[in-house]
Structure 1
Amino acid sequence: MMHGFENKRVTEHVMWVEENTESLLECAARCGQHDLAVTCGYNPNTLECVAYSARFTDPSTVAYVDNSKYRMYSLNLVTVTAEPPLGICDTSDDCPVVDTECMEGECVCNITQVFSYAVAGCVQGCSQYSKTFTKFAGRVIWEHDDLLLGTLTEDECQAACVIETSIVCKTAQYSPVTSLCVLSSSGWLDVDVSDRATRESYNIHIRHCDF
């Protein structure tokens, strides 16, 4: 949440307004589907979701109207090209970057690493996190659940990780079977080997670095 903008609805740089948006998570997921959206606004009373094409840091520098319960959130957007940043592939031999593998036609950092936009490669830690993820199907971390959220889609689970402020969300785990979403401040290498597992009923989404 963007502090200083509580109960203020910015009226500049509005891309679109969606009505009847049932939750903040749904709003964040809708905003996240648009590459140019970098800020998202939501009012749980009016169910309006607003996407903005600019970042805002100081309410005194922009036009706004008073709007009770309205909150604004930074999407922490990074630019992602149409082609996967580490390249396309048929096999892992097509991926020249160290610690990468071929997964569903795209070169990605292996599960022990985290993709960094700044170095266009794989690292083992982030100082800042982006709004994008690498999905590893059938993998899960046990005993490191910070927040459990039910009845979400997989995209909404990722969006929940991006906007969560009570923890630094590093992984979003999702069960397509139960629609359970688990947010964690722990990455794959942050936990003991005994807490890592292969389970077909879960997917783990590892959040990328935004530095």
Structure 2
Amino acid sequence: LPPETGREPGPFPPPLPPLAEYKSFRPDPLKELSETPIGFEGMRIDRKFFEKFEEVVKGNEYVKDKIYEGKYEEAERYIKREVFDKPEEYFNLDKLRKSVMLDRRLSLREILERIFGRIKKFKTKDDLLEEEIEKFISIYHPENKFIHIIRQFMKAYILDTELREILNSKEYGRLETNPGFTMRDLKELAGWKDPVAEYIKDYVPLNTFVA
């Protein structure tokens, strides 16, 4: 079974040519151990804020015990109650998200996983999009000639609230002015529109992709 569930219109990568045999072109995550890069000011100011939070939670025996026991929800509840919004730093999730300067909304669980070494880096929005695309392809096995348009459609459907509204309301004429996915693209998608849309509705947490 697929994993548990996920606006901005923007430019999408050009369609890939049909492949003789599908294979993943995503880089090996084990080779990408560096953290998400941030600017110089972020290195000097925002990373310092994140590192202070890291020091606090790593020094808390209760939090450490819960993380090592795999009880993340208990650790999160404790942090929200006993660590967040306290003098002197007034840590909270919004400030931590801003300190990381990622292109999507991080969860507290991801932050804890990064601090305690469960993950090597925070995944970007595109990392997560590619993961969902590969999961869909591995489950439904579309023909190679449809893979490029399925990739384009999944990215557009996840990121573009207007596109989701157009398709849900069946106001397809509005696709003529949609920059991310057009009527021509929809025709090229053939019968894959509904399976992709249902997969996203059932398994993809859209809030994860909000900046």
TM over 0.5: no
**Structure of greater relative contact order (alpha carbons < 8 Å, 6+ residues apart):** 2
As a proportion of its length, which structure holds more strand?
A: 1
TM-score under structure 2 length normalisation: 0.22
Which structure has the larger Rg over C-alpha atoms?
A: 2
TM-score under structure 1 length normalisation: 0.22
As a proportion of its length, which structure holds more helix?
A: 2
